[in-house]
Amino acid sequence: MHDLQKFYINGQWVEPSGSEVLEVLNPSNEAPIATIRLGDNDDVEAAVSAATAAFPSFSKTSKAERIALLERIIEGYSARMEELAQAISEEMGAPISFARKMQVPAGLGHIKVALKLLKEEEFTQVMGTTTVTKEPIGVCALITPWNWPLNQITCKVAPALAVGCTMILKPSEVAPRSAHIFTEILHDAGVPAGVFNLVDGNGAGVGSSLSAHPRIDMISFTGSTEAGKLVSQAAAVNLKKVSLELGGKSANIVLDDVDFEKVISRSIKGVMSNSGQSCNAQSRLLVPASKLEESVAIAKRTAESIVAGDPLADDTVIGPVVSKPQWDKIQGIIQGALDEGAQLVAGGLGLPDNVEKGYFVKPTVFSHVNTHMRIAQEEIFGPVCTIIPYETEEEAITIANDSCFGLSGGVYSADLERAKAVASQMRTGMVHLNGAPADPKAPFGGFKESGAGREWGIYGMEEFLEPKSMFGSIPRD
């Protein structure tokens, strides 16, 4: 049992003001693994005061100083990668192999990208007789989820540190241990007191307090669309900048010229990865109507071959979903699909046959789904895929765009130009062509109710910068 009942404020671990204790459970066996305290307004005020006091000096540090700081963070992070992987596997149920190969390296990748950009980018431009500088926006509130905990923490913290911002991190109360280890890494790397602060808490408490705080200059939030709207409403009182990375219901369009055995199998495995708990999961699989029967058969074989079980076992492909409320929600959506007449291809209700406890969901596939069904419109955040047939490319694009979300998507075609032509018509912030992986140097974010602003790379870094025009700073010829 890990005692995580302290917050990191002004360069030291301190006793919280908030008294409520929350027990953190291992979703694979429902056993308690840690305790945290839920912060209150006094904790938020202490963290904001520390960050506010630290901003004038940290914002004026040299590029060389911040480069050296990021290099020390990378060194410390690299030395504790196995510990971080174990923490993530324990707190949110990721198979240990997946935590080692994907979850933890993703976080390190964002720090390395921020370091590279800091070395290469110029933050001053001349436009005629005007000098335009890009300056750190100020004190930032960073609110992160549990599904990719280090990925989401580092893609906010690293660029914020790189440009000279100070910050308060509220990690998910469901998966806090990796955030506490990361905080130790920052402390050991010599992040100045007050520059980085950590306060545990829930959205209704600490999250709301940070969102409405008048001395917070910017909020970077990753989570559900519903929560993102609440953050935006609270932030609007002070007109602070808000960057939102929210939900998705991404479509994967498979065109008729591909190797269906390879593509359908790969697509199903992609949806099930991380137990389906990825905002950019391509959970709507669109296939030509003439290939529906073949696609369903391949999807069934693939889903039934995926082993859900103990995250520490070598043959485990997916672990549990993160919590009992999440499990209950997914079961309700599966039942709703059955009630609406969707055809169950694989998986379904209840626990997988090989497990007796934990929040495991059967890898589930539905076919004969139309775009009006709840399962085709609502983000599930679980290992559930829907197969939707289409007659023409135009219809496939229409179906793909028939969503309030617009985060990600995919197109498979043997003809890359054909794939690009389809992708260009999808109203979404990202499209993966032929299964290409995400690129941490490119922007991550979406259209419509999938968010506002971007993370990753230079686009993510610029979220933490404000441009200033100094007119007449350049003498006229």
- At 234, is the secondary structure helix, strand, or coil? helix
Strand-pair partners of 124: 133
The secondary structure of residue 444, as a DSSP letter, is: B
- 3-class secondary structure, 401: helix
Nearest of 326, 4, 323, 278 to residue 152 by alpha carbon? 278
Residue 378 known to be catalytic = no
Q: Under 8 Å CB-to-CB from 429, ≥6 apart: which residues?
A: 406, 407, 408, 443, 444, 445, 446, 447, 450, 451, 454
Closest CA to 407 of 283, 274, 288: 283
Neighbour-count burial of 79, counting CB atoms closer than 10 A to its CB (0-12 exposed, 13-18 middle, 19+ buried): exposed
Which residues make beta-bridge pairs with 2? 34
CB 48 within 8 A of CB 219: no
Q: Look up residue 254 and give its amino acid.
A: V
Give bridge partners of residue 196 from the DSSP assignment.
167
Residue 156, token pair as written in the block: 């906010």
> β-pairing, 32-37 with 2-3?
parallel
**357 three-state secondary structure:** coil
**Per annotation, catalytic residue among 90, 91, 173, 245:** 245
- CA 231, CA 212: separation in Å to the nearest integer? 8
Residue 273's region, left for phi above 0, alpha for psi from -120 to 50, else beta, is beta
In 3D space, the residue among 319, 110, 329 whose CA is nearest the CA of residue 222 turns out to be: 110
**Contact between residue 170 and residue 200 where contact means Cβ atoms under 8 Å apart:** yes
Cα 280–Cα 137–Cα 224 angle in degrees, nearest 5? 25
For the beta carbon of residue 229, count every other beta carbon within 10 angstroms: 13
Scored b (16 or more CB within 10 A) or e, 35-59 reads ebbbbbeebbebbbbbbbebbeebb
Helix H or strand E encompassing 185 = helix 177-189
* Number of residues assigned to the chain: 477
Which residues does the annotation mark as catalytic? 245
